[in-house]
Amino acid sequence: MSKKVIVFIATSLDGYIATRNDNLEWLLSSEGDGDNGYESFYNTVDTILLGRRTYDWILREVGKDHFPYRGKRCYVFTSTPAEKLDSVEFISESVVSFTQRLRLEEGENIWVVGGGKLIRDLHKNHIIDEWIVTIAPTLLGDGIPLFYPNDEEERLRLVDVRRYQQFVMLDYLVQHSSDSKISDNLTP
């Protein structure tokens, strides 16, 4: 059995994962419940996928001494390598072909942290197996969207809903073409 490729991400109610200038302050200003399920999820993955802008944002915000994904296999997709940490490998090949190879290896699941372009490339090529989306109680009006107009149609099956104070986490499995058809009258 292959590893699952999972998007675990927070979004505003109107579907943005960050402001245009990559600000996430809106996400931190709402009341949650502990870590909102982060540690529980984090313990199920051994591989982290990041786009270059997301990687740079993390380094700016927390600094290289506090990089949050140490101990995991961490791959950053970029055409221009940057300051490298011991726990990070820069990848310049297609995220699709690289991820397809990764998912065949032994181990835990793969977490697609972001950003938007990386997620979009994997979604467009039907590589994502699960979407765990936490909705924040914020309307941004504009920013970096989780989904874009004309994205690929995909059928999902809701497997869990959790509330963390003001946040709601929705967990969906992707119904790949090899999966059984979804009934029109599906109930969770």
Name beta bridge partners: 89: 75
Q: Which of 141, 144, 155 is nearest to 119 (CA)?
A: 144
Q: Which of 137, 172, 138 is nearest to 157 (CA)?
A: 172
User: Longest C-alpha distance within the chain, in Å?
Assistant: 51
* Mean pLDDT lowest among 22-36, 60-74, 95-109, 131-145: 22-36
Amino acid at 181: K
Confidence bin at 1 (pLDDT 50/70/90): low
Name beta bridge partners: 132: 8, 171
3-state SS assignment for residue 91? strand
Q: Which residue has the tokens 């990559």?
A: 22
Burial class (CB in 10 A: 0-12, 13-18, 19+), 97: exposed
pLDDT per position as a tens digit, 71-128: 999 999 998 867 777 889 999 999 999 999 999 999 999 999 998 899 999 999 999 9
pLDDT on residue 14: 97
Q: What is the pTM of this model?
A: 0.89
